């Protein structure tokens, strides 16, 4: 079976996305990134523990091979549950934070009165009536000048109202966020990368657990044990 812990299953893969203080060079505390890092650290520790248990169990000549295999499989199942619980909690916290940042920085603040709302609607109608070339030119000019009135009109309604596709609107939203919310944009980028790295680590850990539980030897051992228990129960009923 030989459980191997890949070097990529390491919390440092997450820690690299923490913000760094430009003056001290040290990581800036971020509970969301720390939560992901802690979950991956637990996965690494549990994976190494399983590999060590497997090596010790298979080296124990006083215990039957099948019993050793089942012992490792049982430990893997328990470890999988512990790690999954912490990973899920950390991922949920990260995804919630990402969604909050995206919502808060996705467009300029809404108009404060009916007149401003009316102007916004007129801008959308005007943009929608333009040719694609003219509309692209008008939007590019607004972006270059940082014209938040026009930018808001484009971003605060469905893309179709201004004659754009959702992909085009999302590109503009991305550019707006990067220009007007630099700190949030930088953190959003880091969180997304940290979450992606966490997911990769999670898949590596699941592969280790599945190897321990679903190896041919483990499946055969579990089948034989179930068969013996079934025969023992039948014998007890007949006695």
Does residue 229 surpass a pLDDT of 90?
no
**Model confidence pLDDT, tens digit, residues 131-154:** 999 999 999 999 999 999 999 999
Do residues 192 and 150 share a domain?
no
Query: Do 88 and 163 share a domain, yes or no?
Result: no
More confident residue, 136 or 229: 136
Same-domain check for residues 121 and 219: no
Last residue of a domain, one of 163, 180, 197: 180
User: By C-alpha distance, which of 123, 105, 49 is closest to 80?
Assistant: 49
What is the rounded radius of gyration, in angstroms, for the C-alpha atoms of the chain? 28
Q: Is the pLDDT of residue 66 over 90?
A: no
- Do 87 and 193 have their domain in common? yes
215: containing domain: 12-106+182-238
pLDDT recorded at residue 112: 86
d(CA 58, CA 65): 7
The reply to whether 76 and 131 lie within a common domain is no
Q: According to the model, what pLDDT value does residue 110 have?
A: 87
pLDDT category, 61, cuts 50, 70, 90?
confident
Tell me: the pLDDT tens digits for 30-49?
999 999 999 999 999 999 99
28 with 123, same domain: the answer is no
Q: In this structure, what token pair is assigned to residue 226?
A: 């179930």
For residues 98 and 201, state if they share a domain: yes
Domain count, the chain: 2
* Residue 235, pLDDT score: 55
Asked if 70 and 141 sit in the same domain, the reply is: no
In the predicted model, what is the mean pLDDT of the chain?
A: 90
**Minimum mean pLDDT range among 11-25, 78-92, 222-236:** 222-236
Alpha-carbon distance 210 to 61, whole Å?
25
Q: Which two tokens stand for residue 115?
A: 């007149």
Q: How far apart (Å, rounded) are the C-alpha atoms in residues 85 and 76?
A: 14
Q: Express each pLDDT in 155-181 by its tens digit.
A: 998 999 999 999 999 999 999 999 999
Select from 154, 147, 86 the least CA-distant residue to 123. Answer: 154
Residues 174 and 191 reside in one and the same domain: no
In a domain? residue 20: yes
123 lies in a domain? yes
User: How many Cβ atoms from other residues are within 10 Å of residue 205's Cβ?
Assistant: 26
Residues 189 and 89 reside in one and the same domain: yes
Instruction: Report if pTM > 0.85.
Output: no
Determine the average pLDDT of the residues in 185-190.
Answer: 97
Share of the chain above pLDDT 90, in %: 76
Last residue in a domain, options 151, 180, 209: 180
Residue 219, domain member (yes or no) = yes
3-state secondary structure the chain: CCCCCCCCCCCHHHHCCCCECCCCCCECCCHHHHHHHHHHHHHHHHHHHHHHHHHHHHHCCCCCHHHHHHHHHHHHHHHHHHHHHHHHHHHHHHHHHHHHHHHHHCCCCCCCCHHHHHHHHHHHHHHHHCCHHHHHHHHHHHHHHCCHHHHHHHHCCCHHHHCCCHHHHHHHHHHHHHHHCHHHHHHHHHHHHHHHHHHHHHHHHHHHHHHHHHCHHHHHHHHHHHHHHHHHHHHHHHC
pLDDT digits (tens, 9 = 90+) for 199-227: 999 999 999 999 998 876 666 666 666 66
Of 180, 202, 218, the position where a domain reaches its end is 180
């Amino acid at each position: 079976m030989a459980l191997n812990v890949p070097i990529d299953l390491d919390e440092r893969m997450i820690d690299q996305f923490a913000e760094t203080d430009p003056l001290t060079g040290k990581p800036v505390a971020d509970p969301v990134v720390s939560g992901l890092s802690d979950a991956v650290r637990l996965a690494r520790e549990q994976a190494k523990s399983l590999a060590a248990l497997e090596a010790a169990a298979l080296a124990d000549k006083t215990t039957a091979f099948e019993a050793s295999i089942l012992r490792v499989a049982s430990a893997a199942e328990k470890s999988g549950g512990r790690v999954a619980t912490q990973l899920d909690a950390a991922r949920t916290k990260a995804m919630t934070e990402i969604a909050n940042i995206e919502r808060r920085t996705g467009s300029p603040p809404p108009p404060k009165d009916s007149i401003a709302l009316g102007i916004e609607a007129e801008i959308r109608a005007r943009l929608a009536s333009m040719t694609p070339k003219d509309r692209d030119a008008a939007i590019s000019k607004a972006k270059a000048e940082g014209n938040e009135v026009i930018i808001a009109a484009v971003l605060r309604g469905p893309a179709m109202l201004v004659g754009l596709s959702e992909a085009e609107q999302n590109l503009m939203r991305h550019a707006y966020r990067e220009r007007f919310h630099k700190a949030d944009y930088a953190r959003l980028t880091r969180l997304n990368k940290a979450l992606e790295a966490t997911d990769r680590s999670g898949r590596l850990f699941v592969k280790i657990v599945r190897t321990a539980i679903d190896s041919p030897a483990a499946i055969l051992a579990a089948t034989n044990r179930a068969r013996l228990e079934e025969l023992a129960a039948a014998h007890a009923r007949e006695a």
